[in-house]
């Protein structure tokens, strides 16, 4: 005998009363025995691996070559100093990578999958990692199966097992009580998900003992693919290396032809190559991304993929659901029609309902909870359910827009239906309060409620002697109006989207009049509402119809397939699409969108699994906050790339000028390395913590194909580099002619003034990273306290090195007069002022 909805009587019994589940004491014992229900991975890097990784770099190999050459030529102090630089650089790299690694671990812990279990006879929602063998788990459409197990009860259960089999067609599970309990149809597997129906099953295996765990153990060493941003940085760094090596070669040839010492030229070339290549960019960028994502998490946004942060900044259209995202999703029943038939409507609210409520707990869909709360005010929920026990169910789907349940009571089989008004009326052949034109009256009443912003559903029932869910000849019972007010912060968020060049499109399965009224209240204006019933398939659309779709801002009664068509159209027109979703049928659209946005409160586990980000509070305002933070994060990455490059290239230009025109002074290799050690790391990390400029949401979305450094930014970087380089060389020249002209050219003095001017200029240069249109005195940079901390620490390091004799000797530093320091400070600030004026007069753009 096969059954699609049955409790199998011969399943293994784990307790005297299987349906009560485990007790908390049994759970505690089993957790100690079997551990957490999670898949272990080896992507975590040990401290030793991170440390060793700092020395597996071409840059380190070049520096080690410089050390060996120093020792070969008996330059012991230089060799030891370069070794110290290698160790300091490794320590800084170790710290940054360690922080990035731990930040990514923290992000992974934020993404929690919840499961409904039965413990001590009550349904509880817990973290799936806490599930143990012997657990009773309740599943419904959209749930990810948390562990391997065997079904004991089901209703029209379809499971997508593509994660294990690769077969995308859902498998129908049928209990066969005459066969072995080990038949495949009775087994459920971790990582697969329910596409239809519901079931209760008991867990047999958890964690690495599941089928998914066994597969995972074979692929643990697989590395995550690089994000688009990381690929851009890698490509950018390779090009920079090629350019740098060419310039270094020219400097080496110029120095050699000028008759300079070969060892000194070689060391200088090596130091320049190391200084000009920002090898720490990928780690700094990853750290910036991870820290930004953790900050988003504090604003109820869980970003699951690093690559999503970059796409967020370019989002140009948000397709959002209405219920719970634009509205509060705190539904209450405002009224029923007709009021003369309230008892039947109350019974329908209780019977066609999978939610449960008691004094301390509410589990289920907010709409169904609202129906139970309404029913509890007018009757006893448990008495109604005891009077009509449920024996079968056809769960709600976005295609049918209704839910059916079958009950047996008072000697008859009763099918109860609830759902969209049009869908329920299609089932009905009569009304409990029949009039000559009752369907017209029902639709008119529903439209009036919807036009006032109410969510409207209808209920109906069918009583007959035959078993099985009825599919026609229903008796219409009434309509229920539920109020779900707009969220208070959404209207402002939508205005912010408009100023940022982002379109907001409402796509809902709700009544068109309800959608239009909520849209009006929130500022989503649309001359008319596009109904799903009037939408052709994508392949049948004409260009005029495509244009009409693009110009619409509200779509109602839309199916999942039509959501996919809308995304396809927007992407064809070069929009970057963010799509919200919560149901299992939304998963294809979430995956197709450039940014899939799942709901954290009402979203199914499948939707959350395929989405790029999860909104924990389901609020549209949180989506806008995520886009804002995405823009800030990418802008900060761009800031520290511009800062690092302009600083490094300024040194390259300075050395190139002094080498080509054969000046009698030059920076020493150790000095170049020290400048980068002091000015690169801390200010760059501080820029990654910038809060963002106040106009970030008044800018148009960026093109996702745009490189990190555009042609305009390259011009800006080169301009910055020339100004910083000119400040250093200008300080040397001015100092000589104003204060030391009679002494003749002093190479040591010139070297020291150039060295300190470059350092001070580069530290002040961080203030040039303010956004266009902002004052240097009131910018996002000056408001960033970490920038001031980094400058202070760098100054302390510089003073310390100047005061410690051994370090001073290694860096070839000498005492300077107050006049020399005045020149150094003056030219450092002059460089800052020139760069700021160039931005004010649009000579450069950033």
Active-site residues, by number, are 321
β-sheet bridge partners, residue 574: none
Which residues, at least 6 apart from 279, have a Cβ–Cβ distance to it below 8 Å? 57, 59, 237
Residue 330 near residue 479, CB atoms below 8 Å? no
Distance of CA 88 to the CA centre of its chain: 34
The helix/strand/coil state of 155 is: strand
Residue 149 near residue 201, CB atoms below 8 Å? yes
Residue 630 near residue 313, CB atoms below 8 Å? yes
Q: Write phi, then psi, for 150 (nearest 5 degrees).
A: -125, 140
β-sheet bridge partners, residue 155: 198
Of 726, 602, 593, the C-alpha closest to 653 is: 726
Which residues, at least 6 apart from 516, have a Cβ–Cβ distance to it below 8 Å? 451, 526, 529, 554, 556
Residue 750 near residue 665, CB atoms below 8 Å? yes
Q: Write phi, then psi, for 536 (nearest 5 degrees).
A: -80, 170
Find the angle CA(406)-CA(358)-CA(31) to the nearest 5 degrees: 95
Provide the H-helix boundaries in 298-429: 306-312, 342-351, 366-376, 381-387, 421-427
Which residues, at least 6 apart from 20, have a Cβ–Cβ distance to it below 8 Å? 118, 120, 121
How many Å apart are CA 702 and CA 542, to the nearest integer? 29
The helix/strand/coil state of 774 is: coil
Which residues, at least 6 apart from 638, have a Cβ–Cβ distance to it below 8 Å? 708, 709, 713
Find the angle CA(419)-CA(424)-CA(427) to the nearest 5 degrees: 145
How many Å apart are CA 840 and CA 774, to the nearest integer? 9
How many Å apart are CA 758 and CA 723, to the nearest integer? 11
The helix/strand/coil state of 130 is: helix
Residue whose entry in the numeric block shows the structure tokens 């230089």: 78
Which residues, at least 6 apart from 500, have a Cβ–Cβ distance to it below 8 Å? 627, 697, 698, 699, 700, 701
Q: Write phi, then psi, for 606 (nearest 5 degrees).
A: -65, -45
Q: Write phi, then psi, for 200 (nearest 5 degrees).
A: -120, 135
The Cβ of residue 257 has, within 10 Å, a number of other Cβ atoms equal to 10
Strand extents, DSSP E, 120-174? 122-127, 136-140, 148-160, 171-172
Which residues, at least 6 apart from 361, have a Cβ–Cβ distance to it below 8 Å? 122
CA distances, 223 to each of 45, 48, 97, 227 (Å)? 12, 18, 16, 12
CA distances, 317 to each of 594, 596, 597, 618, 634 (Å)? 10, 12, 13, 18, 19
């Amino acid at each position: 005998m096969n059954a699609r909805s049955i409790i199998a009587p011969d399943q293994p019994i784990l307790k005297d009363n299987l349906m009560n589940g485990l007790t908390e004491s049994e759970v505690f014992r089993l957790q100690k025995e079997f551990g957490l229900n999670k898949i272990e991975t080896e992507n975590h890097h040990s401290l030793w691996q991170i440390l060793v990784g700092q020395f597996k770099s071409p840059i380190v190999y070049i520096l080690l070559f410089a050390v060996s050459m120093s020792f070969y030529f008996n330059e012991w102090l230089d060799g030891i100093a370069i070794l110290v630089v290698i160790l300091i650089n490794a320590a800084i790299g170790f710290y940054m990578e360690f922080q990035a690694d731990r930040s990514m671990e923290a992000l992974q812990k934020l993404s929690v999958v919840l499961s409904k279990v039965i413990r001590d006879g009550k349904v509880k929602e817990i973290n799936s990692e806490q599930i143990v063998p012997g657990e009773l788990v309740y599943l419904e459409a959209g749930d990810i199966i948390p562990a391997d197990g065997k079904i004991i009860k089901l209703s029209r259960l379809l499971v997508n097992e593509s994660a294990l089999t690769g077969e995308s067609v859902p498998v129908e599970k049928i209990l066969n009580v005459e066969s072995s309990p080990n038949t495949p149809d009775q087994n459920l597997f971790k990582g697969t998900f329910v596409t239809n129906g519901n079931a209760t099953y008991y867990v047999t295996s958890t964690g690495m003992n599941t089928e998914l765990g066994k597969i995972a153990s074979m692929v643990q060493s697989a590395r995550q693919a690089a994000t688009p941003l990381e690929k851009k940085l890698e490509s950018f760094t390779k090009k920079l290396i090629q350019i740098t090596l060419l310039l270094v070669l020219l400097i080496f040839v110029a120095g050699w032809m000028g008759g300079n010492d070969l060892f000194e030229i070689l060391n200088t070339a090596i130091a320049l190559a190391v200084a000009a290549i920002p090898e720490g960019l990928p780690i700094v960028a990853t750290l910036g991304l991870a820290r930004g994502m953790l900050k988003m998490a504090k604003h109820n946004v869980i970003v699951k993929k690093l690559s999503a942060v970059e796409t967020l900044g370019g989002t140009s259209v948000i397709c959002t659901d209405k219920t719970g995202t634009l509205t509060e999703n705190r539904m209450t029943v405002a009224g029923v029609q007709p009021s003369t038939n309230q008892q039947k409507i109350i019974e329908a609210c209780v019977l066609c309902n999978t939610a449960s409520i008691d004094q301390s707990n509410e589990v289920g869909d907010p709409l169904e909870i609202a129906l139970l709360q309404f029913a509890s005010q007018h009757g006893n929920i448990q008495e109604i359910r005891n009077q009509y026990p449920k024996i079968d169910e056809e769960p709600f789907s976005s295609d049918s827009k209704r839910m059916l349940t079958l009950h047996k009571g008072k000697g008859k089989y009763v099918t109860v239906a609830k759902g969209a008004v049009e869908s329920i009326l299609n089932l009905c052949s009569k009304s409990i309060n029949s009039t000559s034109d009752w369907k017209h009256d029902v639709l008119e009443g529903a439209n009036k409620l919807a036009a006032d912003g109410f969510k409207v559903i209808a209920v109906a029932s069918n009583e007959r002697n035959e078993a099985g869910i009825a599919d026609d000849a229903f008796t219409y019972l009434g309509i229920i109006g539920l109020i779900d007010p707009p969220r208070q912060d959404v209207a402002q968020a939508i205005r912010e989207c408009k100023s940022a060049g982002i379109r907001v499109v409402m796509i809902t399965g709700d009544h068109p009049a309800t959608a239009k009224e909520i849209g009006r209240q929130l500022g989503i204006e649309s001359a008319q509402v596009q109904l799903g019933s009037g939408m052709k398939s994508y392949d049948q659309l004409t260009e005029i119809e495509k244009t009409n779709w693009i110009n619409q801002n509200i779509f109602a009664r839309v199916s999942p397939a039509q959501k996919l068509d809308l995304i396809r159209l927007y992407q064809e027109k070069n929009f970057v699409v963010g799509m919200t979703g919560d149901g299992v049928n939304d998963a294809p659209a979430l995956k197709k969108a450039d940014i899939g946005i799942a709901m954290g409160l009402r979203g199914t586990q499948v939707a959350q699994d395929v989405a790029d980000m999860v909104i924990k509070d389901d609020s549209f305002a949180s989506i806008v906050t995520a886009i804002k933070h995405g823009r800030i994060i990418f802008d900060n990455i761009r800031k520290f790339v511009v800062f690092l490059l302009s600083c490094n290239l300024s040194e390259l230009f300075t050395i190139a000028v002094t080498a080509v025109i054969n000046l009698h002074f030059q920076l020493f290799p150790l000095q170049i390395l020290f400048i980068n050690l002091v000015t690169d790391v801390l200010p760059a990390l501080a820029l990654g913590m910038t809060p963002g400029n106040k106009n970030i949401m008044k800018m148009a979305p960026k093109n996702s194909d745009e490189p990190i450094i555009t042609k305009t930014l390259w011009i800006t970087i080169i301009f910055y580099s020339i100004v910083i380089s000119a400040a250093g060389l200008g300080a040397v020249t001015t100092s000589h002619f104003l204060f030391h002209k009679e002494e003749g050219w002093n190479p040591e003095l010139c070297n020291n003034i150039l060295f300190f001017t470059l350092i001070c200029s580069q530290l002040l240069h961080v203030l040039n990273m303010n956004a266009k249109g902002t004052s240097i005195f009131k910018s996002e940079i000056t408001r960033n306290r970490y920038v001031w901390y980094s400058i202070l620490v760098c100054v302390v390091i510089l003073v310390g090195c100047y005061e410690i004799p051994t370090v001073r000797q290694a860096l070839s530093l000498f005492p300077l007069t107050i006049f020399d320091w005045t020149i150094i400070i003056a030219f450092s600030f002059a460089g800052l002022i020139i760069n700021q004026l160039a931005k004010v007069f649009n000579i450069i753009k950033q």
